[in-house]
Amino acid sequence: MRMQFTGQKHLHADDMPAAFAKIEEGDEVTEERLRESLKRAMDWMSELQAEDGHWPGDFSGIMYMMPFWIFALHITGTVDAVLSKEHRREICRHIYNHQVIGVYDWRGNNPVVPELWLIPRFLPIHPGIFLLPPSASLKA
């Protein structure tokens, strides 16, 4: 999604300023170099920012994000300003159609065995490594 947005704003990788100055071993990190690097990074991020103030990024497909988002809208009192009645109806329909409340045989569910969390993290079958949502949220 970010690549699509940079294409819409006609930003190219060639235009991207280096977000940091290359520092070799033994070089001194001065306040000027640090300030210059931070300014270039902030300039690039402000170029990527959308008109409404967000930075576009795709985080689709994960069901557990929507209820928290709606909860945050209710807390801030902006649910009516952000979501129309049609949007709210579609969100309720989506949650209703994807819920599992006694209508699915749990033998078809393939859960992670709780004991796997006790094995060392360096092993490739540790759940913290192969579960998709935590790793996907870090990459987004």
Q: Are residues 104 and 117 in the same domain?
A: no
For 95-100, what is the mean pLDDT?
A: 73
Say how far apart CA 91 and CA 63 lie, in whole Å. 11
For 14-20, what is the mean pLDDT?
A: 54
For 88-102, what is the mean pLDDT?
A: 78
Q: Are residues 103 and 121 in the same domain?
A: no
Residue 55 maps to a domain? no
Residue 25 maps to a domain? yes
Residue 54 maps to a domain? no
pTM (2 d.p.) = 0.36
Between CA 112 and CA 116, with CA 114 as vertex, the angle to 5 degrees is 80
Residue 100 maps to a domain? yes
Residue 53 maps to a domain? no
Give pLDDT tens digits for 38-78: 888 888 778 778 888 877 775 656 566 777 888 889 899 99
Residue 127 has pLDDT above 90, yes or no: no
Say how far apart CA 25 and CA 23 lie, in whole Å. 7
Give residue 88's domain range. Answer: 61-109
* 23 band by pLDDT with thresholds 50, 70 and 90: confident
Domain count of the chain?
A: 3
Residue 117 maps to a domain? yes
Q: Are residues 18 and 37 in the same domain?
A: yes
Length of the chain: 140
